[in-house]
């Protein structure tokens, strides 16, 4: 962290097919070992399958946005040392950080699912998050429960 200047926020280039920044962010989270074409292939396969299998005929990018919204935490816990004791202090988080955490939860939950292909696992996790079930939503609720349990330490500002 620089003490002199604040860092400039980099602009996110939207993906070419959906023209969406969220899609671009998710592709970059899927990315492993710099193989972006493989990550894009996985993502577009997932979106095509969601569009084809959707009973409500809602747009696939809208399903993704609602899934991210359902798994976005509002509060997180940060450790704060006061006197020799470490306290877990709940703090509100900015929307960009919340979205980043939600994407991280969805990708990690999809990777931990049993199954063969990453596209099928990611599709199922996105649909579960869209329906407010699944591991990414459970992770969000777990964070909120921990923040609720440590609500007494909110006066210890970071």
Domain segments of the chain as ranges: 21-155
Q: What is the pLDDT of residues 12-41, one digit of tens each?
A: 899 889 999 999 999 999 998 889 999 999
> pTM of the predicted model, to two decimals?
0.88
Per-residue pLDDT at 52 exceeds 70: yes
Per-residue pLDDT at 107 exceeds 90: yes
Q: What is the pLDDT of residues 74-88, one digit of tens each?
A: 999 998 888 888 888
User: In terms of pLDDT, which residue wins out, 57 or 143?
Assistant: 143
In this prediction, residue 44 carries a pLDDT of 94
Homologous superfamily of 21-155 in CATH? Ribosomal protein S7/S5 (1.10.455.10)
Q: Rounded to whole angstroms, what are the CA distances from 28 to 3, 104, 106, 113, 127?
A: 29, 11, 13, 20, 20
* CA gap 71, 55 in Å, rounded: 22
In this prediction, residue 1 carries a pLDDT of 61
Which residues have C-beta within 8 Å of that of residue 54, sequence separation ≥ 6? 60, 63
* CA gap 87, 113 in Å, rounded: 33
In this prediction, residue 58 carries a pLDDT of 80
């Amino acid at each position: 962290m620089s003490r002199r200047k604040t860092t400039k926020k980099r602009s996110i280039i939207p993906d070419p097919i959906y023209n969406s920044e969220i899609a671009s962010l998710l592709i970059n989270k899927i990315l492993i070992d710099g193989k972006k074409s493989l990550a894009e292939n996985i993502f577009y396969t997932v979106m095509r399958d969601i569009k084809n299998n959707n009973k409500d005929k809602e747009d696939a990018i809208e399903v993704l946005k609602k899934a991210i919204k359902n798994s976005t935490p509002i509060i997180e816990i940060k450790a704060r040392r006061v006197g020799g004791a470490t306290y877990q202090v709940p703090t509100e988080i900015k929307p960009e950080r919340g979205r980043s955490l939600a994407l991280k939860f969805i990708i990690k939950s999809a990777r931990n699912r049993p199954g063969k292909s990453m596209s099928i696992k990611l599709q199922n996790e996105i649909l579960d998050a869209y329906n407010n079930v699944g591991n990414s939503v459970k992770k969000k609720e777990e964070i909120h429960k921990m923040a609720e349990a440590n609500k007494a330490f909110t006066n210890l500002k970071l």
